[in-house]
Chains A and B, each alone.
Chain A
Amino acid sequence: MGKNKNNLSRTTGRMRGWIQAGATLFSNIHLSNFFKGGIYQGGGKALCVPGLNCYSCPAASGACPIGAFQAVVGSSKFGFSYYITGFLILVGVLLGRFVCGFLCPFGWLQDLLHKIPGRKISTKKLKSLTYVKYAVLIGTVILLPALVTNDVGMGDPYFCKYICPQGVLEGALPLAAVDAGIRSALGTLFTRKLVVLVTVAVLSVVFYRPFCKWVCPLGAFYGLMNKVSLLGVEVDRGKCVSCGRCAKVCKMDVDITRAPNHGECIRCGKCVTVCPADALAYGCGFGSDEKEMKKETEK
């Protein structure tokens, strides 16, 4: 593993907060709409952004992949979305859960909330909850909108309607702040969703990224793609001194030396920055992976 690669990986890990801020701005570039009280209506919204970003946010520059998937599946015209599934596969193969660690606005918000000083609780004993997000993906995003339909064959976007806190945070709150009509239309559903948002926010202060770990269907999909994603973390077994610092520092409860492609790894790079032996680095492409590193070491 080259020195330059290590340095670049460490720098990427250290710059993560800035990259997250840039990605959030890129996903919500039409900032003036916050004051106008309307949402962006340009053709760019036919394309999706990679992270969880509500398209009802006044500044949103693209469509939310989860919302868009449900819109297609829940329509009377289509039972499945090839367009969005293909998009998610392509992003997943290229980046995997790097999207969660670097590009998702809601992931960044949870990171910021977790910086609030106070008691932090480890989620290592709650690992079984990480499977909930797969049930959320299959149940509320894929099956319910397609199968539970009204008289004209249209299904509700169940995840957006009952679970997703982004719609309230990015859509309802800024729009209601400047539009009296929307403010007066908010009812019980809004209150329930606000409770979800506040709960996630409070939990985010105590636990690291509770929504990403346990609920997010986008994280579930990208987690599956982590196994084959072109961007990943490489482990140089020849350099690894088995100090365990990487596993200790990982807030997603992953031991990167045992499972570099673990579905929970969001490629945040914390392990890369703390490794005292330069045994960890970001890798990208069809070339080197853990097995190849092993072979090189054996030679």
Chain B
Amino acid sequence: MSRRRKNAARLLLIAAGTVMVCFGAMRGEAELVLGKAIRLCLECVGIG
């Protein structure tokens, strides 16, 4: 991959990543993640 193409891909991914994080946070995914992360995950620890 040439340097120009690689840099274009990097910029595109940074832009896409930023938009996705903002869009996800706006539609309430961050609250869902917080709600899951502050409670004991039964599947993770092996209960149930």
Partner of B14, one of A45, A88, A93: A93
Q: Is A41 an interface residue (CB 8 A)?
A: yes
Partner of A45, one of B3, B18, B29, B37: B37
Task: Check if B10 sits within 8 Å of A286, measured CB to CB.
Answer: yes
Task: Check if A86 sits within 8 Å of B17, measured CB to CB.
Answer: yes
Task: Check if A291 sits within 8 Å of B29, measured CB to CB.
Answer: no
The interface residues of chain A, by DSSP majority, are classed as helix
Which one of A42, A55, A192, A286 has the greatest number of beta carbons of chain B within 10 Å? Answer: A55
Partner of B34, one of A46, A166, A167, A185: A46
Task: Check if B7 sits within 8 Å of A286, measured CB to CB.
Answer: yes
Given contacts A46-B30, A160-B44, A192-B46, contact A83 B21 (CB under 8 A): yes
Complex CA–CA separation, A191 to B1 (angstroms): 47
Partner of A172, one of B2, B14, B23, B46: B46
Give the number of A-B contacts (CB < 8 Å).
168
User: Which B residue sits closest to A71, measured CB to CB?
Assistant: B36
Q: Is A245 an interface residue (CB 8 A)?
A: no
Partner of A190, one of B2, B17, B23, B46: B46
Task: Check if B41 sits within 8 Å of A55, measured CB to CB.
Answer: yes
Task: Check if B6 sits within 8 Å of A228, measured CB to CB.
Answer: yes
Complex CA–CA separation, A55 to B43 (angstroms): 12
A228: chain B residues at CB < 8 Å are 1, 6, 9-10, 13
A68: chain B residues at CB < 8 Å are 33, 36-37
B48: chain A residues at CB < 8 Å are 187, 189
Task: Check if B34 sits within 8 Å of A193, measured CB to CB.
Answer: no
Complex CA–CA separation, A209 to B20 (angstroms): 31
Which one of B22, B34, B39 has the greatest number of beta carbons of chain A within 10 Å? Answer: B34
Complex CA–CA separation, A291 to B33 (angstroms): 41
Task: Check if A189 sits within 8 Å of B47, measured CB to CB.
Answer: yes
Complex CA–CA separation, A29 to B43 (angstroms): 23
Task: Check if B47 sits within 8 Å of A157, measured CB to CB.
Answer: no
Partner of B25, one of A63, A78, A83, A85: A83
Which A residues between 63 and 84 are near B, CB-CB below 8 angstroms? 63-64, 67-68, 71-72, 75, 77-78, 81-84
A–B pairs, 26, beta carbons within 8 Å: A42-B38, A45-B34, A54-B41, A62-B37, A68-B37, A71-B36, A78-B29, A83-B21, A83-B23, A83-B25, A86-B18, A86-B20, A93-B13, A93-B14, A157-B41, A160-B43, A160-B44, A167-B44, A168-B46, A171-B44, A172-B45, A175-B45, A186-B47, A191-B46, A230-B10, A292-B3
Q: A45-B38, A71-B36, A82-B23 are in contact. List 18 more A-B contacts (CB 8 A).
A: A39-B38, A40-B38, A55-B36, A56-B41, A64-B37, A72-B33, A77-B32, A82-B20, A82-B29, A83-B24, A83-B25, A86-B20, A86-B21, A86-B23, A89-B17, A175-B45, A182-B45, A192-B46
